Structure 1
Amino acid sequence: VSGATLIAISSVFNGLGRFFWGGVSDKIGRMTTFRILLFLQAIIFIGLIFTSHPVLFVIFVCIILLCYGGGFGIMPSLINDAYGKKLMPAIYGAILTAWGVGGIIGPQIVAFMKDNYPDKAGFYAFIIGSILMIVGLGLSYLYKGKEIIEA
């Protein structure tokens, strides 16, 4: 599979993830769905380290993008449910800002690793990604619920 084909296919999964995981979150709850997204991505990042088969690689990338899109699909509702409509815009704005900063910094870190550790850059990138997902999963259990502040 060429790089362009993989990007096109995985982009479809990114879009589908917004609808799929949104529907799942309506059935089982926002936080439970978000935890599934984090756990699934952590496992697949580790799986990518050991994957040499191109079809399995494509499947893993598509699942990751399905989850990535799902994060965008459920985040507004998760924040609204947790903190109410008064705080939702500010919190969601902060999360999108952090997401954007990660999108700028992340590739720079991977480029640094590729330049300095060319044989292990992918390994380190997937390990770091998996660890961050696990940290996020752990932090999600610290959430005890907040009194919703209505506008």
Structure 2
Amino acid sequence: MEAELVEHLIDSDVSKVNNASNVISYWIHRPDLSQSGLPELLINTLSGIIAARRMPALPWGLSLMLDIAKHQSAWISESSFALIESGLKKMLVELSYEHRPLGSGVPDDNVPTLRWSCARLARELVSSRPTKVSKSITAWVQLTSSDPLPELRFLGETSKLYWEKTDGK
């Protein structure tokens, strides 16, 4: 079943990606199903989607990885974390509002929602793996307070409280 979900997750048909995402989300949130073994192929695929910034699956990949970081953080291996971190680092530049590089493959209309998803994922990674926080993950958390998007600024306010409590560590 895992291989079939992965196959649909990397499909260019958005309806297949959405359906696979719904099944995976259900799996993540069900303790009885999520204990049935580490879905290594799925985690590697999601990490790869984020690292490669692969559209159209990227929004779903970020959302699913956020759920995994929240509910099943033990599923994220060191190598998967490194891939996620690499993708977040690249997206700091590729998802900027000004001076976006040409050919990123991300339509301009997707930039605000992808920024929001990256910031939420970074924030969750900070909270679930505080000893593994890198400069790029920290940058996503910190840029939210000055983002033009109100949802990101609100996220930034709650992140600011975290940074004040931990002295940014």
The alignment's TM-score, normalised by the length of structure 2, stands at 0.30
If asked which structure has higher relative contact order (CA below 8 Å, sep 6+), I would say 1
The alignment's TM-score, normalised by the length of structure 1, stands at 0.33
Rg (Cα) greater in structure: 1
- Select the structure that is richer in helix: 1
